[in-house]
Structure 1
């Protein structure tokens, strides 16, 4: 069912990325979806990398 929210971007060719931003007080991951203008792949990758550098999250998730 997730495709119901993403099909407009697929149809129009807008690049998008989902990036983790932080953990909630309960330890659940919180993220953001970034969307750029058509053919803006460099922009979306640059923004995603900047968020990840600002909020390093790897290793913060609890073991399952």
Structure 2
């Protein structure tokens, strides 16, 4: 099992990934997830932490090929130990 951050920093604000340089910014913040998408390795991201702004911050778990079952069991255990379904970030509309 490999553990990495999901993003390379806090989640971006709405609109932060638009504009002429958005592709470069997307590549930068998603540097921990892209290689597992390309190789087809099973991975799961769980919102285990919150940023100072109250936004969910993910932790990515990567498993061995064809071992999605381990990732799903781990996710279930972590959600039981530290439930996140009721956490809500502030709405800025």
- Note the residue ranges of structure 2 that are not aligned, 5 or more in a row: 1-25
Which of structure 1's runs of 4+ aligned residues deviate more than 3 A? 1-7
Partners of 2:89 and 2:34 in 1: CA distance: 32
Distance 1:4 1:51, change over 3 A: same
SS of equivalent to 2:44: strand
Q: Is 2:62 the counterpart of 1:62? A: no
What CA RMSD, in Å, does the superposition of the two structures yield over aligned residues?
2.2
SS of equivalent to 1:59: coil
Q: How many residues align?
A: 64
Q: CA deviation at 1:19?
A: 0.3
**TM-score if structure 2 supplies the norm length?**
0.55
> Which residue of the partner structure matches residue 13 of structure 1?
40
Between Structure 1 and Structure 2, the one with more helix by share is 1
Q: Is 2:49 the counterpart of 1:22? A: yes
- Provide, for residues 19-48 of structure 1, a one-character-per-residue CA deviation record: whole Å limited to 9, x for no partner: 011324442322200000000110011111
